[in-house]
Amino acid sequence: MVVAPLLALLVWLLTPMLEHQARLVATIMAFCLVFWMAEVIPLSMTAFLGVLLAVMLGVAEVETAFQNLGHPIILLFIGSFLLARSMTRHGLDKRIALFILSQPFFQQSLFRLFLGFSFISFVLSMWVSNSVTVAMLLPLMLGVTQLVCPPEQTGKSSAVYFLLGIAYSASIGGVSTIIGSPPNLIGVNYLAQQGIRIDFLQWMYLALPVSLSMYGFLLLYMRYFLRKSDYNQQVVQAYVEKHQQQREKLRKGEVVTMGVFTLAVVLWLAPGVFNLFGMEEAYAFMSAYFAESTVAVLAALLLFLIPPGQETGGAGTLIAEDLVKIDWDTILLFGGGMALGQLVVTSGLADVIGRSITSFIDPNQQVLLVLVLVFLVLMLTEVSSNTAIAITFVPIIIGVLHGLGLPLLYPVLGAVLACSMAFMLPVATPPNAIVYGSRQVPIGQMVRTGAILNLVATLLITAWMMLYMLV
């Protein structure tokens, strides 16, 4: 409450050379950045406050300021969150987890058990929000770690690495698809504004190799910590058998959810497949009539329309109460944040910052440029919401690249991926915050474990982006 207005005033006093609107936007963004970092009010309300200040100061018209709340990407968010809610409501998430963990391969050692959990987290977060993925897995995870890592044994620290593992796996897996993490959607939106359209399959083609290589390193890294811990295979087998006996046969609610989810994934991937095989008419048709947001809303509506037998008294697979249980804070933050990000561009502030940075950078040093951008975004994400950082800094990066006359796609993609690769602090990403909230993870251990992963993520993202730029 004190630092935010002081920093805003300082920015105003230090930027007399800017155009009036750009100066006002810089002042507003400085104020909002402090509010985001300190979480003075909910993150979404900070975004709304920024847009409201812009309207009151004459930077934006009230008729257009909040248009982003109706943006198609908002509908994509709502639809994917409702799909995840249906999985949780009908227990499909726990059934998938128990099915994988019941396989003999995962029961052979503590590391293989970790591999099972982290793999579930990695794959699920590709298709539903990474925060929702970790929230779904955490109760099951805590139950297992209490058995295999009892506090009186040396395996106490193993429980910490299990919890950190599912959080990190979710963040890493979340970059693989457009809908996996909010910064992905933000990056796609800003690139679309620059005339660069990326469909669902193209994003997977570019991001999945980065995600898989980072996940591979995570497994090797965690294996180092888990190799000295005690492990009792019989305890795990007994736990899985107990919970599988409690599970009923596959219920209709789970079948409906799985069917709708599969349909959504097929429709999301179809335009990219048609584009890959040169079927231009089919690609154009699917892109126009079955865009990602349209498919997400269609899937959500089907879940409300299709009744799962007698399980909900004739109501749909989802009911009205489920609408209030999705992450509206992230949805509203996204809408308000996109409006703020748009102001950074339209006011000319992004170009001004871009020109300022370009005066210190040699355009021929592209490796250094990408490395610095990725590292700065990643470290900034450690102290603020990854969504807020993406909203704020992607337009600025676009301005930098315009100023240098460099192509936008791969440096922007690298920065967007970096937004989800912060592993040191709870505030960095929702998965980190959720496992820290379990009170089982000391912050010091999260910082020490995450520091190496931050460095490796920076190097891997930079290496992949440079490879793409060369090819």
Q: Residue 384: what pLDDT?
A: 66
User: What is the distance, to the nearest Å, from the Cα of residue 169 to the centroid of all Cα atoms in its chain?
Assistant: 11
Residue 169, both tokens: 């796996």
* Separation CA 441–CA 423 (nearest Å): 13
pLDDT digits (tens, 9 = 90+) for 149-202: 655 554 456 778 888 998 999 999 999 988 888 889 889 988 988 888 888 888
* Separation CA 180–CA 129 (nearest Å): 5
Percent of residues in the chain assigned helix, strand, coil, to nearest 5: 75, 0, 25
* Separation CA 271–CA 290 (nearest Å): 8
pLDDT digits (tens, 9 = 90+) for 129-142: 777 778 777 767 77
pLDDT tens-place values along the chain, 471 residues long = 899 999 999 999 998 988 899 899 999 988 988 887 777 888 788 888 988 999 999 888 887 788 777 777 778 778 877 887 888 788 777 777 677 677 888 777 788 888 888 998 899 888 877 777 787 777 677 767 766 665 555 445 677 888 899 899 999 999 998 888 888 988 998 898 888 888 888 899 999 999 999 999 999 998 888 876 666 677 777 777 777 666 667 888 889 998 998 898 888 878 878 877 878 888 889 878 888 788 889 999 999 999 886 655 567 889 888 898 887 877 787 678 777 777 877 788 877 776 776 677 777 788 888 888 899 888 877 766 677 778 878 888 888 888 778 888 899 999 999 998 989 877 677 788 778 777 778 878 888 889 999 999 999 999 999 999 887
Q: Residue 154: what pLDDT?
A: 45
* Separation CA 96–CA 80 (nearest Å): 18
Question: Which pTM was predicted?
Answer: 0.71
Question: Phi and psi at residue 255, in whole multiples of 5°?
Answer: -65, -45
User: What is the distance, to the nearest Å, from the Cα of residue 195 to the centroid of all Cα atoms in its chain?
Assistant: 23
Residues in CB range of 97: below 8 A, 6 or more apart? 117, 120, 137, 140
* Separation CA 47–CA 55 (nearest Å): 13
Cα–Cα distances in angstroms (integers) from residue 438 to residues 10, 98, 134, 200, 318, in the given order: 39, 21, 11, 34, 28
* Separation CA 295–CA 314 (nearest Å): 25
